[in-house]
Amino acid sequence: MKKRPLIIDGHLDLSMNAMEWNRDLRRPVAEIRALEKGLTDKPDRGNNTVAFPEMRAGNIGMCFATLIARYAKPSHPLGGWQSPEQAWGMVQAQLAWYEEMVLQGEIRMIRDSAELEAHLASWNTDNERAIGFLLTLEGADSIVSMNHLDRLYERGLRAIGPAHYGPGTYAYGTDSDGSIGQKGTELLKHMDRLGMALDATHLSDTSFWEALKVFKGPVWASHNNCRALVNHNRQFSDEQLLALMEREAVIGIPLDAWMMVPNWVRAQSHPSNTDVTLAKMIDNMDHICQLAGNTKHVAIGTDLDGGFGTEQGPSDLNTIDDLQKLVSMLTARGYSEEDVEGIFCGNWLRVLRSALS
């Protein structure tokens, strides 16, 4: 199994699936689907793609794993927890699950460069099963104060995306726009002091440019596609992509269908009647590579099971194990073995080694 190329996935909402979707990720995907048969509370029920057995089968030996709990004022268009303290409580539940999975030997938290290198060496052995993960926070609304951020850092948090959807406490996110303000500036400067990384994903245009100006540390985008291919504020413009490249950032490419093909209509469009395949993922990768003139700034950040499943993903992906199909697909597009290794894991490793040093 380990002879398949190593993949690092830059964005998986593992704890959200465990604690809010009630999925035991130690079970194979097929078992989780069977348990969800007939459930209708969420649109992706029975369509999940991620579980620990499939990650191991696909040699996804490491991922960036999120904590996520959005606080939403009553006027927020998408809703969320009604207070930052409630959002903080959900983050604690998610973190407790990660910590228990570590104790069970299912996963391994990576907090510094020594732990990163130890995991890579261990993963190359035949008897290793613990999947490595870097703990990240998607949307910073649950950070009640900078003391709360310090506490999360002490428990392993190493990267933050300040915004998610709509207006947030520390930045504006997707489908909104505005300044990071005093609170956002304070957050970014505190992250700098702690030596954390900034995930630029989901930042609105104004917040994006302000954040890059204020924040001095390592930057990446865990899961973001190209606005030139799907014209929506959720995607990065070429100008934004070039600015990220100037910061030596890596951009992970996600697999949510509406970000891969234009004119996707939720609850109406389906992979069976649209041209959404893994080839669209490579189109986004290729666009970034052409802008950069090299392959050093693109990677994988699937966002699989991030509130969607096979009903809103590539038609040629059944589980996360199918990411290995990208080897032959990238090769057919003219990418070398060295390029593929960089896209699969090498580019993430480069920025991680710098950020965690």
Amino acid at residue number 354:
S
Amino acid at residue number 235:
Q
Burial of 172 (0-12, 13-18, 19+ CB in 10 A): buried
Let me know: does 223 contact 303? Beta carbons within 8 Å: yes
Give the integer Cα–Cα distance in Å for 163 and 176.
Answer: 10
CA 199, 202, 26 angle in degrees (round to 5)? 70
Tokens 């190493």 belong to residue: 158
Q: Is residue 2 part of a domain?
A: no
Amino acid at residue number 77:
P
Amino acid at residue number 171:
A
Q: Is residue 189 part of a domain?
A: yes
**pLDDT over 90 percentage in the chain:** 93
Q: Is residue 346 part of a domain?
A: yes
Nearest to 240 by CA among 216, 212, 215, 282: 212
Q: Is residue 60 part of a domain?
A: yes
Name the DSSP letter for residue 172: B
Give the integer Cα–Cα distance in Å for 91 and 152.
Answer: 10
What are the CA-CA distances from residue 203 to residues 67, 162, 176, 342 (Å)? 17, 7, 9, 26
3-state helix, strand and coil shares in percent for the chain, rounded to the nearest 5: 40, 15, 45
pLDDT of the residue at 305: 98
Q: Is residue 1 part of a domain?
A: no
Let me know: does 48 contact 35? Beta carbons within 8 Å: no
Let me know: does 173 contact 163? Beta carbons within 8 Å: yes
pTM, to two decimals: 0.97
Give the integer Cα–Cα distance in Å for 218 and 171.
Answer: 18
Q: Is residue 219 part of a domain?
A: yes
Name the DSSP letter for residue 165: B
Q: Is residue 267 part of a domain?
A: yes
**296 is in which domain, residue-wise?**
7-355
Phi, psi of 195 (to 5 degrees): 80, 30
**Number of domains present in the structure of the chain:** 1
- Give the CATH number of the domain where residue 307 resides: 3.20.20.140
Q: pLDDT (tens digit, 0 to 9) for every residue of the chain, 357 residues total?
A: 447 999 999 999 999 999 999 999 999 999 999 999 999 999 999 999 999 999 999 999 999 999 999 998 888 888 899 999 999 999 999 999 999 999 999 999 999 999 999 999 999 887 789 999 999 999 999 999 999 999 999 999 999 999 999 999 999 999 999 999 999 999 999 999 999 999 999 999 999 999 999 999 999 999 999 999 999 999 999 999 999 999 999 999 999 999 999 999 988 999 989 999 999 999 999 999 999 999 999 999 999 999 999 999 999 999 999 999 999 999 999 999 999 999 999 999 999 999 998
Q: Is residue 263 part of a domain?
A: yes
Rg, C-alpha atoms of the chain: 19
